[in-house]
Chain A
């Protein structure tokens, strides 16, 4: 099977998954009491009740749930995700405006995680059960145990408030300007820490396991320098296990972005989602969840491709 066919198959396979996600989200939003109109009324108690009823009619919220769902679905199939009730803006426009912010943050978190986890994992595995390994395991365990919001607040308190090294407010520069890096570092580190710690532990375990295999002795018996043995022979095999969890880590980074964006006032999709949930902006909520789901499917696919690139035995099965 060719690579294109494989990719196509995987994307098609994601359709039922995304459908399921939309049904569950839709159902959850309708089970919980209150809708956007209640929220608007709560914000402005002077609105008369006939006006509220008119709004519900206008938004289609007076219809049975399944009609609402079908309406929504019909729109989605034609590329229309509806509008944000409170601002009358297009949902797609809002998502597209916030997306780069979240991608930048997630990517930074990922790169940070990889830069810490791979060398750290190699170091720990090579020096297994020695002091450096023990220290790095302790650090990794702490990284996994500390909640995101707490780590974010602490980093902010120490590095932004006390030391004043980093800015804390909403970034005012454009995303692509170099000074943006300053805004990215604290939230990026916060979001990447748990992934870094998780990945480092997996890296350490898989590398330690690979180091016991006979091909390592064989590579040494060839007279190759230890550096080559580790970085060429062992590393590539160890990375195979890491890629199998990479998609899971991506999902955890995406989930973390909701909290981290809120803590740092980062103008991304995660924060948008929180606001949308508060206001019961159902169209926006659905679009963000669907988009996130699709993104995770893509990340999974990417991980599988990397997996196949690393391991020729898998490649043959495609």
Chain B
């Protein structure tokens, strides 16, 4: 049994303009200890998916349907009390901007300790000790003294380290990291990513890493899900995704991979913008931007089709009419592998 299994998750926001379907029939699984990447443009529904896992969607949002199974137990059927036992304890969360995720009026240490006291029922002294240990583990120098610092006394990179310590404090099974490095400079970004990799390996924690950046996915993840307009359009092991992408949107993303340290318009090179989620286009939601779109794409909504088995037995699948043989002309892209990228991906493989 997979550690985390999301089945047909649909989340909507009832706004004044209409119903925004932010997550639309989304399914994926994460195995124990797996590093799972989620990529997609801004507004694709990545954060909403992440918050749904903790049932933290707030009004006017609502989880409409589906299942979220953690070790087989459906989080969506749990009582509020039960879901609180999961939050921070079995599923930890790292936020995009550590500065806003930390409460400015409590010490960093207290904010780590409180979860430990709450979930693990440590007394204050033990919780303090464990927090200091965690701060040390995430690479805060002089952790004992920094424990009583306030967030504003930490640099951005240190704040993110503290947030990681907080998320790991109760030794969760899954860590959800929602763009954990976008607020940081490039050098710090690299350090934080390797810290995440190191710690999740050490504790055998599964991670759902949300990012805009396919380069980050290449370095860290085992498997990737590409999201577009609230749906998964492709799921694949990381090597397959890079060497043999199946979905035109993925190919679009690939051709716009930024190099590490490159701040150019990420993902903007795919012409057009994501559709309005209130009124998604009929048929394939990507068709207004797809270079291979045909008449059929405007009428028939493609399903998620398994396109082949990955190297380690995990499947690759994509949501495109090509794979139900409904396209007349087929997909005409060629994949040429960029040396720099293949270097990174291969490095992953042979580790």
Contact = CB atoms under 8 A, between A and B. Distances in A.
B104 A221 contact: no
B152 A220 contact: no
Interface residues of B, number: 28
Interface of B: 51, 54, 56, 84-89, 92-93, 95, 97, 100-106, 114-115, 118-119, 150, 152, 163, 166
A313 B89 contact: no
B269 to A, nearest CB: 30
Contacts of A215: 100-104
User: Which of A218, A222, A313, A316 has the most C-beta atoms of chain B within 10 angstroms of its own C-beta?
Assistant: A222
A217 interface: yes
A5 B118 CA distance: 40
Given A214-B95, A221-B88, A222-B87, A310 B115 contact: no
Contacts of A217: 51, 56, 95, 101
A222 B102 CA distance: 12
A257 to B, nearest CB: 33
Nearest to B97: A214
A214 B54 contact: no
Contact of B115 (A214, A223, A236, A240): A223
A24 interface: no
A49 B163 CA distance: 84
A237 interface: yes
A313 B118 CA distance: 27
Nearest to B54: A221
A218 B115 contact: no
Given A223-B86, A237-B105, 20 more contacts: A214-B100, A215-B100, A215-B104, A217-B101, A218-B93, A218-B163, A222-B87, A222-B114, A223-B84, A223-B85, A223-B115, A223-B119, A225-B84, A228-B114, A236-B105, A237-B103, A311-B104, A312-B104, A312-B150, A312-B152
B89 A219 contact: no
Contact of A221 (B87, B103, B150): B87
Contacts of B95: 214, 217-218
User: Which of B114, B152, B163 has the most C-beta atoms of chain A within 10 angstroms of its own C-beta?
Assistant: B114
B104 A313 contact: yes
A233 interface: yes
B105 A311 contact: yes
Contact of B56 (A213, A220, A236, A311): A220
A241 to B, nearest CB: 12
Nearest to A222: B88
A313 B103 contact: no
A23 interface: no
A222 B115 contact: yes
Q: Which A-B residue pairs are the 4 nearest by beta carbons?
A: A223-B87, A223-B88, A222-B88, A214-B100
Contacts of B118: 222-224, 228
A221 B93 contact: yes
Interface residues of A, number: 22
A222 B166 contact: yes
Interface string A206-245: 0000000111011111111100100001001100100000
A82 to B, nearest CB: 48
A297 B15 CA distance: 48
Nearest to B55: A220
B87 A220 contact: yes
A218 B112 CA distance: 11
A215 B105 CA distance: 11
Nearest to B80: A226
Nearest to A310: B105
A152 B340 CA distance: 80
Given A214-B95, A217-B51, A312-B152, A224 B101 contact: no
Contacts of A225: 84
Contacts of B54: 220-221
A223 B89 contact: yes
B82 to A, nearest CB: 11
Nearest to A214: B100
A220 B118 CA distance: 12
A218 B51 CA distance: 10
A312 B84 CA distance: 29
Interface string A307-318: 000111100100
A237 B104 contact: yes
12 contacts: A213-B100, A214-B97, A218-B103, A219-B103, A222-B87, A222-B166, A223-B88, A223-B118, A224-B115, A228-B118, A236-B105, A240-B105
Nearest to B119: A223
Contacts of B150: 312-313
